[in-house]
Amino acid sequence: MRVSEALEKDKPTLSFEFFPPKTADQEEKLFAVISTLKKFNPDFVSVTYGAMGNTREKSFFWVKEIKDRFKLDPVAHLTCVAATKRNIEEQIDELTKMGVLNILALRGDVPQEEKDFVPPENGFHYARDLVAFIKRHKPKICLGVAGCPEGHPAAPSLELDTQYLKEKIDAGADYVITQLFFDNRYYFDFLDRSHKAGIRVPIIPGIMLITSLNQMRKMTEICGATIPPKLLERLEKYGDDKKSIAKLGVEHAIAQCEELLEAEVPGLHFFVMNKSGPIAEVLTSFRQQRFQESE
């Protein structure tokens, strides 16, 4: 099923995002994680892809496993910052042969250690170019793009960031999945800016659970998200008490998701970080039984 079709249903979609494991032990763990979360009947699951294309083989392997072994609808991430048009054409052909109907089209950020990186001459400057290219070559592919509630760290302003998002939609994107945020106010403000700019496609909020203070700080530095002061204060009081931090993370996510669902968001997209426990706690704690766990 295409994500656009799932979004047409009369209930919010549920989706998860995984990253390709690096070791045999991590692979075994991810199989278990997917098996656990599959019980919540996700509408689709996505698999990340390194900005430099260095996880292509593993990413595509897991896309195929999710589709064939777990019988779930996969969304393949595809970045273009280090790819030529020929590279991308080969990859979308490969995904099409697998029967993949959904791609999340991303520019991808060059790793900081790649100081001498030079983009391919026959490549893509922006995600909008990747979206347009895929739409021309594979018009039946359902395309998602990323949005940043607090603005992309490289964007000169929120207004220009919204304009860039509109360009991706105009190029053919069918929906948006947001970057993580911990204060719903940023998501609702993002919706207002997007609607005023003429963006009418569904905008799915992306949710990340806090399981580690250091990890959260690292992620927010990368994507430019804000940690609410009161939440940060409570987390810092726990110090190295991981159990208490994880408990607070679940409580915060439940409150976030409940408010978002009450506002009738099109769906919830969880950045799983290849851990099923915290997500399962959140999904089984909703006051309204939006997502039922199957036997």
Q: For the chain, what are the domain ranges?
A: 3-283
The string of DSSP codes covering 106-160 is E--PPPTT-TT----TTB-SSHHHHHHHHHHH-TTSEEEEEE-TT--TT-S-HHH
* Predicted confidence band of residue 131 (pLDDT cuts 50, 70, 90): very high
177 has a pLDDT exceeding 70: yes
What is the rounded distance in angstroms from the CA atom of residue 113 to the CA atom of residue 110?
Answer: 8
Q: What is the mean pLDDT of residues 96-114?
A: 85
The pLDDT of residue 220 is: 85
% of the chain surpassing 70 pLDDT: 93
Give the pLDDT confidence of 37-69 residue by residue, as tens digits: 999 999 999 999 875 556 788 999 999 999 999
Per the annotation, the verdict on 17 as an active-site residue is yes
Characterise 178 by phi-psi region: left (phi > 0), alpha (psi -120 to 50), beta (else): beta
What is the rounded distance in angstroms from the CA atom of residue 128 to the CA atom of residue 164?
Answer: 8
Which among 5, 8, 17, 90 is annotated as catalytic? 17
Using a cut of 0.75, tell me whether the model's pTM lies above it. yes
Task: Answer whether 27's CB lies under 8 Å from 61's CB.
Answer: no
Beta bridge partners of 17: 46, 271
**How open is the CA angle 238-179-153, to the nearest 5 degrees?**
95
The architecture of the domain spanning 3-283 is: Alpha-Beta Barrel (3.20)
112 has a pLDDT exceeding 70: no
291 has a pLDDT exceeding 90: no
